[in-house]
């Protein structure tokens, strides 16, 4: 079954590999990353080229997982394009110290 999948932190490393693998498996993949018009512009373009060359359903979406407004916008964009979101692979790297329960979305 084809699923609509968002992978955060997909500009490099495990995130990028996950995006490529899932897209090749036939899923509709949204590669989430920050600053797609800035510091990650080349990574975004490389993924667009990869998708065109292999005829894959892969979209680039701007998302900063530390910003609730950015997350809300990204999800709305995905649902507008794909009609649904089935899976989120939260690969974006942020680092905080302490028990998870001690943190808010902010």
In the chain (106 residues long), the average pLDDT of successive 10-residue segments reads 95 94 98 94 95 97 94 97 96 72 69
Shortest CA distance to 62 belongs to which of 73, 46, 51, 49? 73
Can you read off the two tokens belonging to residue 53?
């060359």
Predicted local confidence at residue 106, as pLDDT: 64
CB 70 within 8 A of CB 58: no
Predicted local confidence at residue 100, as pLDDT: 67
Predicted local confidence at residue 99, as pLDDT: 78
> How would you class 62 by CB atoms within 10 Å of its CB: exposed for 0-12, middle for 13-18, buried for 19 or more?
middle
Predicted local confidence at residue 92, as pLDDT: 83
Predicted local confidence at residue 43, as pLDDT: 94
- Topology of 4-92 in CATH? Rossmann fold (3.40.50)
Alpha-carbon distances of 47 from 18, 30, 33, 67, 99, rounded to whole Å: 12, 10, 11, 24, 35
At residue 70, φ and ψ (nearest 5 deg) are -60, -45
Predicted local confidence at residue 94, as pLDDT: 64
């Amino acid at each position: 079954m084809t699923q609509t999948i968002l992978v955060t932190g997909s500009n490099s490393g495990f995130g990028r590999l996950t995006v490529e693998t899932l897209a090749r498996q036939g899923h509709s993949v949204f590669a989430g990353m920050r600053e797609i018009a800035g510091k990650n512009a080349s990574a975004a373009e490389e993924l667009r080229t990869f998708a065109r060359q292999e005829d894959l359903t892969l979209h680039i979406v701007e998302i900063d997982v530390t910003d609730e407004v950015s997350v809300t916008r990204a999800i709305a964009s995905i649902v507008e394009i794909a009609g649904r979101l089935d899976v989120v692979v939260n690969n974006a790297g942020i680092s905080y110290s302490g028990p998870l329960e001690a943190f808010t979305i902010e």
